[in-house]
Structure 1
């Protein structure tokens, strides 16, 4: 047997040499799939245009509306809605040999009946009974305010949205993504659901002012339960109507582009809501149209349905969904939710303690292929599109191109970093913090795979857990955040909050992410309205007034975040090579490293400050402090004179004053 080609992924990662054949088979499956797609459609872009065929469209050549639906095992389909007074049987659809159903409505006959904002459904008769369903490719879904029933809504506005972003490119954003993770509904301070327009007018300027160049929008795809955070999707081609109209979402994205901000969607292809009335489940009467049959198609932990990525029509549905959001709404890319669950039959519920587990029977090879195809589509649409994987197993080649043996993402989320911070804060007193462990957790990533580092995301802020600020300061945040008020818990919390964020952004990856409001230490948790809290919005909002109040210490964390990000952005730190450790003192809790020609000095010491502390730097010359966490502007104690220059001695050492719980960043001055 001829030896397989040794792909670049294996060449670069010697620990994978024993599995070079597995990786080569992954590569072969990908090329076979691309060949099949090209043979069928001409290109992956053409293959991914099912949304232009299925669903409800006006066809100029035939001068009328056509509605198509894929439902191979259904017995009968009937189109219904306002246009026929919800008559379930007056408009039967015809089936072809592929299981596609179709009905044509001539313009002359229906010009006064098929109208913008008209409500529609499809009545499906199948083995599971007869149900009124929402069309699978519907572009808008709205909930009735009285009976709370969801229905499809025809969306034919008289004027198309006029985009003004043709000159925007996410190329520079992709090179160094500094991401603001946000939720439109909970972004306002009011106790209620925010809108796309309110976000564009009130929040985008804050994001721009904070220095973030990318926003990651959660909960955009329609979902029947608000409290699911958008992760139980029912209608994959419908931007949620809770926040406004499709044009208002376009307005938001267009305005972000005008500000130079890229917009990526938190896309959920890992599972779907199990609801029959609102979603795809049992659409044609079977349990295996879009999903795996039986228990394999159900995620017990998420109480949701799991896609069959090996089915041709399912691949086309999901890939078309990706193309639709890029074309119709100008999204600049995606953060794929639950990639670990996608890639493995066991959904990641195992210890990845052996290399074999990345290639054994636990791996869903169809899912791996789907992820490769998804990333190929994204990057063929535009090389400047951004794809990010929420993946915790460490799947080899996750962020390497398929041609190199990888899966094709641009970045993976460093999910181990927030876990490390929360475990440290929960279980270790400050004096037991392990500097070696900290360095390892923040630098343990493949050199040729890019990572988005983050100290916390929405996951850590959900009810049942706490944000980092809340872990650090807890109830003291309610009583002791006034400027001028002395409180040891708050002093410690503010100091460590700053250090944790700076060391994470500068050491942990090639991109950075922050969850909305956490930059200024937003108090409490996130809890959506539900029966258990009397349907309150108290914890499903962001209290911007805290950061804006000059009399409260939240302003210090907000100002620190702005200056930290400005430094990282100006110096292109995230684009630079991995950091080089210069010094680590486990007893004194001091860590020094170099990245992007900056010298980062951290003291996590709980009580001792050091005069004349010697640091060896890579180059001789004059150094100055460009960022100081102990500055008054950041809630520090101004123990350091930042106007002083530091000259190296004959051994390339500088002597500094290093207070406890302080971070300093030095830069060599050019002569």
Structure 2
């Protein structure tokens, strides 16, 4: 145990660090603030630093000094930065601590470390000193990531909630990061997903928030192990060729006393006025993005995960709530900007700064916005007035498509515009098509049970949905359980119902998703995934039959794929579509195949394009369209 009265003047901050900090441009603050195990003049110990400008007294309390508020008072820097610091010899790895803070107004509180690298497992709230030493094995992946992470390649994302993907079969307890590492990479490789997206893994006090109420921004949740264990999971995914995207929450944070809120007796991290600083939906504080130190706290946090944990992408949560001052507020409950508008100018500036900084320092990393409105230019470059994200979730497609599929097929002809409307704006941004966790909770039902009809039709509809999704331009995202048609809604307290996959119809859906991921490697499906050059309607006006057909285009016309979707349970014989090449075509995928649990209405053998005009083409094919099915055709060869 260290001498609890001993401390040594020492600082990790240089004058340049402080100047950057005040300017809001210190994007590596995690190397300075927080707790750091150091060796100072032969003395091993821990250097503590915390930003608390309104405090009059700050001290480090912990298990090493019996939580004594008088043992280790910190020293405030003379430069006006508001940074308090202290080096305590003998405090080493895995010591529990907090900051005890007082201010002149009589405010007294114990706070966790905003930059803590590890935390006690909730409901306990102490920060923990931690040596994060880890030897990485993914140098090949990191070196080649620019190629594997490129938007010009297939991007098929498997969205995962770590606490409920799988659990112990013995007692239902969480699997550890390392136990998950023994299963998840192999499963993703088997299924053909290119990326995993983890719902927030940062430390959060309330498990039921799914990680979206973060207190420990710099620490993977201790529910599943230590920081190096999460690094091992990322490492194993990279060794398997799988990219890792993290959900990241810069929009709001919880009101728990040990967290960031009212940190030093002032509104340090949050806006003071609740009309800007408190979120009515989530009952949480909103980051004050008008403050340099808060902006760099968040940007340095993004840098931390990208640098220290080799993360390949950040999916930024709730961007719309950041952009609009009146988001989820009634008249009189929000403050207009300086021009009288509802746009949050500080948030716009912050998001541009974030994306600029990330892409300059990590050019091979992607950022994705969950932005639910029609805000213009989310994925446009910052220098062109955009926000600078690489991709944006296509929420309109998700909602329109699911609403369409919920209709009984007999009524779908009256709603055909819902399934084709997305192509009017599909190339205004670079989109990801999400079938996310938000759509299978709170009584919305699982994807399978959103579908109308009897059991066979439900599964056929789901196969139809996935095949239509993979034929639609844009990257793909499927939330765990959807890929094998789990029948129950997602429940975060339990494992997925993996036993259902033994049912032939469930297994058929899984086989189809696997094959769709393989199909995604056809150049026509990714070469021009985000531009008009990659898509052409063949026919989108057959409302009466609820049939649409389109062409996905590669560099060469021989690479093109033709998709034909029949949204009714009626087999359509001799259905004619126009084609651009004379010769023979082959059906390379049919969602109604017996191997997927379908009725096996196939187009077998070679299909000859006859000189019968259709759809403004000189030649056409006569097809049999399976019930509630999608077929995919590819040019085989010309006539001899």
Out of 581, 585, 595, the residue aligned to residue 552 of structure 2 is: 595
Equivalence for 1:105: 87
Task: Tell me the distance in 1 between the aligned counterparts of 2:551 and 2:564.
Answer: 9
- 372 and 43 in structure 1: CA distance in 2 versus 1, 3 angstrom threshold: farther
Out of 606, 610, 625, the residue aligned to residue 569 of structure 2 is: 606
Deviation at 1:173, TM superposition (A): 3.1
Q: Does 1:620 align with 2:579?
A: no
Deviation at 1:44, TM superposition (A): 11
SS in 2 for 1:601: strand
Out of 471, 490, 495, the residue aligned to residue 506 of structure 1 is: 471
Cα shift readout 1:11-70 (whole Å, capped 9, x = no counterpart): xxxxxxxxxxxxxxxxxxxxxxxxxx9996499997201111111123445555321111
Task: Tell me the distance in 1 between the aligned counterparts of 2:22 and 2:106.
Answer: 37
Out of 215, 219, 233, the residue aligned to residue 252 of structure 1 is: 233
Task: Tell me the distance in 1 between the aligned counterparts of 2:17 and 2:605.
Answer: 63
Matched-pair contact (CA < 8 Å) for 1:505–1:512: yes
Matched-pair contact (CA < 8 Å) for 1:38–1:44: no
Q: Does 1:55 align with 2:26?
A: no
SS in 2 for 1:120: strand
- 189 and 101 in structure 1: CA distance in 2 versus 1, 3 angstrom threshold: closer
Equivalence for 1:130: 108
Task: Tell me the distance in 1 between the aligned counterparts of 2:276 and 2:547.
Answer: 50
Equivalence for 2:324: 344
Gaps of 5+ in 2: 1-15, 554-559, 613-617
Task: Tell me the distance in 2 between the aligned counterparts of 1:300 and 1:205.
Answer: 41
Matched-pair contact (CA < 8 Å) for 2:527–2:534: no
SS in 1 for 2:50: strand
SS in 1 for 2:150: helix
Count of matched residue positions in the alignment of Structure 1 and Structure 2: 590
Equivalence for 2:210: 229
Matched-pair contact (CA < 8 Å) for 1:453–1:505: no
Cα shift readout 1:138-190 (whole Å, capped 9, x = no counterpart): 1111137xxx4210011126xx2111111113333332311111011111154
Task: Tell me the distance in 2 between the aligned counterparts of 1:523 and 1:138.
Answer: 40
Equivalence for 1:15: none
Task: Tell me the distance in 2 between the aligned counterparts of 1:90 and 1:489.
Answer: 70
Task: Tell me the distance in 1 between the aligned counterparts of 2:629 and 2:581.
Answer: 23
Task: Tell me the distance in 2 between the aligned counterparts of 1:187 and 1:524.
Answer: 14
Out of 179, 188, 202, the residue aligned to residue 166 of structure 2 is: 188
Task: Tell me the distance in 1 between the aligned counterparts of 2:149 and 2:233.
Answer: 18
Equivalence for 1:197: 178
Alignment of 1:36-115 (within 5 A): 41=20, 47-60=26-39, 63=43, 64-96=45-77, 97-105=79-87, 110-111=89-90, 114-115=91-92
Q: Does 1:150 align with 2:104?
A: no
Matched-pair contact (CA < 8 Å) for 1:510–1:575: no
Equivalence for 1:165: 138
Matched-pair contact (CA < 8 Å) for 2:441–2:490: yes
- 305 and 39 in structure 1: CA distance in 2 versus 1, 3 angstrom threshold: closer
SS in 1 for 2:401: helix
Matched-pair contact (CA < 8 Å) for 2:33–2:115: yes
Equivalence for 1:297: 277
Deviation at 1:387, TM superposition (A): 0.5
Equivalence for 2:508: 556
Task: Tell me the distance in 2 between the aligned counterparts of 1:559 and 1:89.
Answer: 64
SS in 2 for 1:51: helix
Task: Tell me the distance in 1 between the aligned counterparts of 2:439 and 2:357.
Answer: 32
Equivalence for 2:289: 309
Q: Does 1:472 align with 2:447?
A: no
Task: Tell me the distance in 1 between the aligned counterparts of 2:483 and 2:489.
Answer: 14
Matched-pair contact (CA < 8 Å) for 1:622–1:645: yes
Matched-pair contact (CA < 8 Å) for 2:270–2:285: no
SS in 2 for 1:440: helix
Task: Tell me the distance in 2 between the aligned counterparts of 1:371 and 1:446.
Answer: 23
Q: Does 1:119 align with 2:96?
A: yes
Task: Tell me the distance in 2 between the aligned counterparts of 1:601 and 1:647.
Answer: 16
- 247 and 624 in structure 1: CA distance in 2 versus 1, 3 angstrom threshold: same
SS in 1 for 2:126: strand
Equivalence for 2:397: 417
Cα shift readout 1:329-377 (whole Å, capped 9, x = no counterpart): 00011000000001111126699xxxx99x9611001100110111112
Matched-pair contact (CA < 8 Å) for 1:333–1:378: no
Moved more, 287-296 or 116-125: 287-296
Task: Tell me the distance in 1 between the aligned counterparts of 2:410 and 2:438.
Answer: 24
Out of 495, 502, 523, the residue aligned to residue 487 of structure 2 is: 523
TM-score, structure 2 length as denominator? 0.87
Gaps of 5+ in 1: 1-36, 474-487, 529-536
Task: Tell me the distance in 1 between the aligned counterparts of 2:86 and 2:214.
Answer: 29
SS in 2 for 1:602: strand
Equivalence for 2:460: 495
Equivalence for 2:315: 335
Task: Tell me the distance in 2 between the aligned counterparts of 1:646 and 1:494.
Answer: 31
Equivalence for 2:357: 377
Task: Tell me the distance in 1 between the aligned counterparts of 2:623 and 2:405.
Answer: 29
Matched-pair contact (CA < 8 Å) for 1:45–1:381: no
Q: Does 1:179 align with 2:157?
A: yes
Deviation at 1:447, TM superposition (A): 2.5
Equivalence for 1:20: none
Task: Tell me the distance in 1 between the aligned counterparts of 2:546 and 2:600.
Answer: 21
Moved more, 66-75 or 413-422: 413-422
Task: Tell me the distance in 2 between the aligned counterparts of 1:491 and 1:211.
Answer: 26
Task: Tell me the distance in 2 between the aligned counterparts of 1:345 and 1:193.
Answer: 39
Structure ranking higher in helix proportion: 1
Out of 611, 626, 632, the residue aligned to residue 659 of structure 1 is: 626
Task: Tell me the distance in 2 between the aligned counterparts of 1:374 and 1:410.
Answer: 12
Matched-pair contact (CA < 8 Å) for 1:430–1:606: no
Matched-pair contact (CA < 8 Å) for 2:37–2:131: no
Q: Does 1:574 align with 2:526?
A: yes
Cα shift readout 1:553-582 (whole Å, capped 9, x = no counterpart): 210000011111111223350332342111
Deviation at 1:129, TM superposition (A): 2.4
Task: Tell me the distance in 2 between the aligned counterparts of 1:328 and 1:342.
Answer: 27
Task: Tell me the distance in 1 between the aligned counterparts of 2:106 and 2:409.
Answer: 57
